[in-house]
Structure 1
């Protein structure tokens, strides 16, 4: 994550472990590998080394909006789940439903970053962002969430890169 600029663009310390991510399309996330928006359009399964009695937060953000050269909307929130018991993501509380990659045409490669944090305790959150909404997703700062919920450094992370393909207009049409 250091060589890709994720540190210092969105976090200050590199996670020690990898979050494993597998998409229904059959692709797995390998650090920095290029995937297509078509391959990552559906929510992946995620797992990491977790303590059974601990709660975790899972983030997915794009720090390169509208482009890596001009990231004026840094960051776009693609997925946020809190209060995950162990690594049972489906049993956590979804704050922002998963949306796949949708980089604008001609904007080049975007980084899509997954971060897992061990929580100090249960997070009280009432916000919910459906997968059809842009509201609450633009100009989000991972560091703000880290501070607000006292999350500390990420315990696991991973990322892929993606650029525009023919699925992007379909995704954008679903967002209000």
Structure 2
């Protein structure tokens, strides 16, 4: 899984269970390359929660991180948190609690390909968290750890995941002007 083990997770989650689609029917497919322009808007993320022991009322957490900041060779900001939604009932992502609003890819020029990882966890209980970071805020996104977040909230290992890669394009400076902090 392209060194995501051990960079982000200890064990690769099943990829076939997490479907991520951007506008124009662009599907995230196990490390395919997409551009920052293509992924600027929040994707449609789906999974089949009924497969989990016949229970479609379980709560889930979805995280999206970039472990390659500012570059894969020098990841001093590992990980950047691009999106976090908790307390998702079943597979109803829009009914979950958004802790960190979605921000698309923005790799700095000349830093090569960055990996963008989606991780889905099944919660054992409701997460009580007051954190909220809007899409225009950088503060609170750097040096995030999916492992530490999962441990703090008793999430265990991810039950599904997927990822794509992206590198700088002309949309990155436009995106960066919208983000402060």
Cα drift, residue 29 of structure 1 = 0.5
SS at match of 1:112: strand
State how 1:1-176 maps to structure 2 within 5 Å. Answer: 1=1, 4-18=2-16, 19-50=18-49, 51-176=55-180
RMSD in angstroms over aligned alpha carbons?
0.8
- Please say if residues 25 and 40 of structure 1, whose CA atoms lie closer than 8 Å, have aligned partners that are also in contact: no
Structure 1 gap segments, 5+ residues each: none
Cα drift, residue 17 of structure 1 = 4.2
2:52 match: none
Q: Distance in 2 between matches of 1:163 and 1:87?
A: 30
Moved over 6 A (4+): none
Q: Distance in 1 between matches of 2:14 and 2:179?
A: 34
Structure 2 gap segments, 5+ residues each: 50-54
Offset from partner CA, 1:40-68 (integer Å, 9 cap, x none): 00000101121411000000000000000
- Please say if residues 85 and 91 of structure 1, whose CA atoms lie closer than 8 Å, have aligned partners that are also in contact: yes
